Structure formats: structure tokens, C-alpha cells
Amino acid sequence: MSKQHTLIMPLDMHLHLRDGVMLETVAPLTSYTFSGAVIMPNLVPPVTSKEAVIAYKERILSACGYEMQENDFMDEDGLGGGDFEPLMTLFYQNYDEGFIEEIQDEIFAIKLYPAGITTNSEGGVKSFDIETMRPTLEAMERLHIPLLVHGETDGFVMDREAEFMSIYELLAGNFPDLKIVMEHITTKAAVDMLDKYANLYATITIHHLLITLDDVAGGMMKPHLFCKPIAKRPEDREALLKIALNAHPKVMFGSDSAPHPQDKKEACGCAAGVFTAPIALQLLCELFDDHGKLNNLQSFVSDNAQSIYGICPEFKEVTLVKEAFKVPEKYGNVVPMYSGETIAWSIEDVL
């Protein structure tokens, strides 16, 4: 009899869905197995208004086959529309307090990008001047709105995340009641930073738990493994594995699944992003099982996020089985990680 494992209310705490035809292709692949996902706001143009947040959420729910409901994912009774909830984020700018108060009920968090550091982030923060940012961050602190951060400088590509640690210290130290999430961490430096401040948390992707830069560019270039932040050294991956496999209470799964059309990935000027949404849970089961840590996976993919954010997801039960699954070559015009390869676990049932 094949080995089985059940996950209750899986959450993807960092997801890119894009828009238009791409949204229609990829959104159902996440909503099928996840109870909810934190949706990134770096569209073109970025999501910077209340109207844009509401309209984008409606498009996501429509792509998933749902309609907008009055009940919200964060209601005290835990009710929501359908069995998947997009947790909406606002693209960080220096907003005034009145605007943040007006939009607070429509957003889950605000996402900060350094200007130009990743896909569609040209309108991001150009200078981390704390006094300029203070009105926005103090309002977020008072209203309990988390700050999600893409933590990279514009320095040498292998050092960008490590160089950003001083900015995390600046933010965490100046705003101790602001919940700050270091998104998709990739380095030992970020792991070491995690427990220095009570208000710092982190998401980790499946691909950064599996690959190093050598897998991307050590032989022939593999564009579908190229992402930002780039995969780092073996010692960085080992540090990530240690806290993820042991379900450190301040870390959560966030896929950073980032779809691009095949012609944008297999091209000069290759777009950054690894598409893992339809195989994320299968890969996590395989990884945790291989390390004898399968009992910790529930905390990593749901329980920690529920505790950190104080949320109650829609009920969903996903049963996985240790049976070979051949990853499709493509989903629409998006090539997934491990395209055409066979992985060890499959989705058996979703209730």
C-alpha cells in the first residue's frame, strides 16, 4: 500500500498570479489545493489603490470559479467565499494615514519592493529614509497591517540579500510593533537574522530548499530555475532546510511561484521566476519525507502562518500519496519546474 499524507488547510504565503490570460491559466492550479494565498501586487501598473485591490480580487476569484462574497477570510467566524481566499496586498508607497485607514479592510498586508530589483518593481522604494517612511509604517503598526519585504539591495547579485540585513534591522528596530516578513529568504544571513527581532518572520520557497546556483548555471543554463532572489550556495540551502524541516515557528511556506510565458523564459533577457504552484505540495511531501520530517510539514504549510497572522482559513483537506507523478511539459504556455520529469508524490484527493 502506498504511503499517504494529509494536509489540512494548506496556505501559500507568497504567490504571483499575474493578470489576464495568465491569471486564468494559473489561478485554478493554486485554488485547487490551497485554502488561501498571499497575492503579490506587482502588476503593470502596480496595485496601489482601493479600487485596484478590489478589482484584482474579483478577477482572481472569477478565474478560480468563485464570486466575491461579503464574508471575509479574516472574519472572526472564519467564513469566506468559496474554498480559496486570495489575501490581497498593496504595493508599498509612502501612503498617508487616512488612505491606509480607508483601505485596511480590503488588504491583508503591504508589500515593499526596492525599486527595480525584480519583476515590475520599478515603482518601488528608492531610498530607505526612515523619517520619510515613518508616517506610513507607524500607521501600519497602529492598524496591525503587516509589512512584506523583498529584501535585496542593488549590489553584487550573490550578496544582495545579505546586504539587506542592515535594512531589516533598521525597520525592525524603529517599528517594534510592526510585523515584518522577510519574503522568500535564500541565505544563512537571513536565517541568522530571524531570531534577533521578535517582529521578524520569513517565508521560504520550495525551489530554494531544493536547488543552489549550481543547478541553475553550473552546466547548461536552466532558465526555468532562474529566479530573483537567485538560488545561493549549498551552505545557504542547508540553513534554510534546517529551519523549514524543523518547522521553526517564525517561518512559513511561500512558493513565490512566478509564471512567465515560455518565450519570455527561453530568451535572451530571461524573465526571473520559477513556476511551482501545481507541484508545490507534492515536492514538499517528497522533501520532508526524504528527511524523515513529514510530521512537521503541516506546521510549515499552514499552522505557523495561522499562528503568525491570526487567521482561520477555509477548510480544505489535501491527501497526497507516494506514487510517481510525471510533471506536465506545460500548463498553458507556462513551463513548470521539473517539466517532463517524474516526482515521487501525487495529489490523491482534495476535500
Range 134-171 burial, b when 16+ CB lie within 10 A, else e: eebbbbbbeeebbbbbbbbbeeeeeebbbebbebbeeb
Give the three cell numbers for residue 187.
541565505
> Would you tell me the crossing angle of helices 20-31 and 50-63 to the nearest 10 degrees?
60
Give the three cell numbers for residue 50.
482601493
Active site residue 177: no
Give the three cell numbers for residue 152.
535585496
Sign (positive/negative) of CA torsion 320, 326, 327, 332? negative
The total of other beta-carbon atoms located within 10 Å of residue 35's CB is: 26
Q: DSSP secondary structure string, 153-220? A: -SS-TTTHHHHTHHHHHHHHHH-TTS-EEETT--SHHHHHHHTTSTTEEEEE-HHHHH--HHHHHSSS
β-strand partners of 203: 252
- Catalytic residue (choose from 256, 263, 289, 349): 256
Pair type for strands 342-343 and 325-326: antiparallel
Rounded (5°) CA angle 186-188-190: 70
DSSP for residue 279: G
d(CA 182, CA 111): 10
β-strand partners of 326: 342
d(CA 138, CA 96): 10
The catalytic residue positions are 256
